[in-house]
């Protein structure tokens, strides 16, 4: 047991679920902020949820929202965290083109509101802060591999909002001496990944097509390349950043990049479906064929007004200073996600954080 108390915003998301489990395993008392929803939104953490009637719960959930400053101040005041992990965000890049103002409010100003809560409550010296920054900050390719010193060039309202959050975190560290760190995390996935992100969309479709429950997977840009790692390992890096003597900024990545097209091929192979791309991969209608039947099609609705073509990170600083290194290769990651989705679709149960 430890006397540390963590507050996690975004605890109901992919990373929040893995981080909550990690911190509970380390003996932390964990508080999480969840949004009010008309349907249940705690599926990823139901297995670690504790009855609120428990007189001494290790995990407590609070209703809240990053757009509501008074609510955030009250929660920080009541929970007196020694560490805040700000993982909450409107995290979908394409959706941010549809909801740019909301994305800025939650992702940019939400970060400011939390940092101000620390300051207003006089917790600058007692509460450490982690900001979920992103490889999307690099955007338009300036240099590869991307590292902490690579210039930023955001390519979406999401990335622009996260740029503000990055710099306000740096500024509060420098201005007020808050132990604040940015984790510049490259894409990380898992069986808990949201179903509209491309990896999970692909692995779910591969499983559904293999089981005869779906005909076609519609995708956008197949040529985009991402540096994909495993979420379970990336939350360990977040924790390590917060344990350092000083706040700082670190890239977490695998150092390997893979195209969406390659991810599709691996996922379909793991689901037992052979894919045959025609020509450049799509015909004049934008359709791809596999095994004689239409399996994968390109739908321009998934193209983004501005795209991030290539991400490949250099995690050298994290390796050297934190001793952090990824363990799961992208090929293993695909296999794990397809296996989990095949089990899910065959009625083998959902994927909990331990999955």
5 versus 254: smaller Cβ distance to ligand NDP: 254
Q: What is the dihedral of CA 284, 290, 293, 299, to 10 degrees?
A: -40
Footprint of ligand GDR on 82-111 (CB under 6 A): 91, 93-94
State yes or no: residue 10 binds ligand NDP (CB under 6 A): yes
What sign for the dihedral angle of Cα 278, 284, 286, 290? Answer: negative
Of the candidate spans 5-13, 141-149, 257-265, 320-328, the one that interacts with ligand NDP by CB under 6 A turns out to be: 5-13
What is the C-alpha to C-alpha distance for residues 133 and 115, in angstroms, rounded to an integer?
15
180 versus 290: smaller Cβ distance to ligand NDP: 180
State yes or no: residue 88 binds ligand NDP (CB under 6 A): yes
State yes or no: residue 256 binds ligand GDR (CB under 6 A): no
Question: Binding mask 173-212 vs ligand GDR (x if CB under 6 A, - otherwise)?
Answer: --------------x--------xxxx-x-----------
What is the C-alpha to C-alpha distance for residues 137 and 159, in angstroms, rounded to an integer?
5
What is the C-alpha to C-alpha distance for residues 185 and 89, in angstroms, rounded to an integer?
14
State yes or no: residue 328 binds ligand NDP (CB under 6 A): no
Burial, 293: exposed, middle or buried (Cβ in 10 Å; 0-12, 13-18, 19+)? Answer: exposed
Q: Which of 136, 189, 265, 336 is catalytic?
A: 136
What is the C-alpha to C-alpha distance for residues 324 and 254, in angstroms, rounded to an integer?
11
State yes or no: residue 15 binds ligand NDP (CB under 6 A): yes
State yes or no: residue 216 binds ligand GDR (CB under 6 A): no
Of the candidate spans 48-56, 57-65, 288-296, 304-312, the one that interacts with ligand GDR by CB under 6 A turns out to be: 304-312
Token representation of residue 146? 């991307």
What is the C-alpha to C-alpha distance for residues 210 and 244, in angstroms, rounded to an integer?
46
Of the candidate spans 30-38, 142-150, 168-176, 304-312, the one that interacts with ligand NDP by CB under 6 A turns out to be: 30-38
Smallest gap from Cβ 73 to ligand GDR, in A, equals 26
Minimal CA–CA distance to 232: which of 13, 22, 8, 7? 22
- Check residue 215 and report its DSSP letter: S
Query: What Cα–Cα distance (Å) separates residue 245 from each residue in 129, 295, 321?
Result: 13, 52, 11
State yes or no: residue 320 binds ligand NDP (CB under 6 A): no
Burial 243-261 (b: 16+ CB within 10 A, else e): eeeebbbbbbbbbbbbebb
* Residue 180, helix vs strand vs coil: strand
> Which of 108, 205, 224, 251 is the binder for ligand GDR (CB under 6 A)?
224
- List the catalytic residues: 134, 136, 158
Q: Which residue ranges make up the site for ligand GDR (CB under 6 A)?
A: 91, 93-94, 134-136, 187, 196-199, 201, 219-221, 224, 226, 260, 302, 304, 307-308
Q: Which residues bind to ligand NDP, rule: CB under 6 A?
A: 9-10, 12-16, 33, 35, 37, 41, 65-67, 87-91, 106, 132, 134, 185, 187-188, 194
């Amino acid at each position: 047991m430890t006397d540390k108390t963590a507050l996690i915003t975004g605890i109901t998301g992919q990373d929040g679920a893995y981080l909550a489990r990690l911190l509970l395993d380390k003996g932390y008392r964990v508080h999480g902020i969840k949004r009010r929803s008309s349907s249940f939104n705690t599926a990823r953490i139901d297995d670690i949820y504790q009855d609120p009637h428990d007189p001494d719960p290790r995990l407590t959930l609070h209703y809240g929202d990053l757009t509501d400053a008074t609510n955030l101040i009250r929660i920080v005041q009541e929970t007196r965290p020694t560490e805040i992990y700000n993982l909450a965000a409107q995290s979908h890049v394409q959706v941010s083109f549809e909801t740019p103002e909301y994305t800025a409010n939650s992702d940019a100003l939400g970060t400011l509101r939390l940092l101000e809560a620390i300051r207003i409550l006089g917790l600058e010296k007692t509460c450490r802060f982690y900001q979920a920054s992103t490889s999307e900050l690099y955007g338009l390719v300036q240099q590869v591999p991307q590292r902490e010193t690579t210039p930023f060039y955001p390519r979406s309202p999401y990335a622009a909002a996260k740029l503000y959050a990055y710099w306000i975190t740096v500024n509060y560290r420098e201005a007020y001496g808050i132990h604040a760190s940015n984790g510049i995390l490259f894409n990380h996935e898992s069986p808990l990944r949201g179903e509209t992100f491309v990896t999970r969309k692909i692995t779910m479709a591969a499983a559904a097509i293999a089981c005869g429950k779906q005909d076609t997977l519609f995708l956008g840009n197949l040529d985009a390349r991402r540096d994909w790692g495993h979420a379970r390992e990336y939350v360990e890096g977040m924790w390590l950043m917060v344990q350092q003597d000083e706040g700082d900024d670190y890239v977490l990545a695998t150092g390997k990049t893979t195209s969406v097209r390659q991810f599709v091929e691996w996922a379909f192979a793991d689901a037992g479906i052979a894919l045959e791309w025609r020509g450049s991969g799509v015909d004049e209608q934008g359709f791809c064929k596999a095994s004689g039947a239409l399996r994968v099609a390109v739908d321009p609705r998934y193209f983004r007004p501005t795209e991030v073509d290539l991400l490949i990170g250099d995690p050298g600083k994290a390796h050297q200073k934190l001793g952090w290194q990824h363990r799961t290769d992208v090929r293993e990651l695909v296999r794990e996600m397809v296996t989990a989705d095949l089990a899910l679709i065959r009625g083998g149960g959902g994927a909990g954080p331990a999955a």
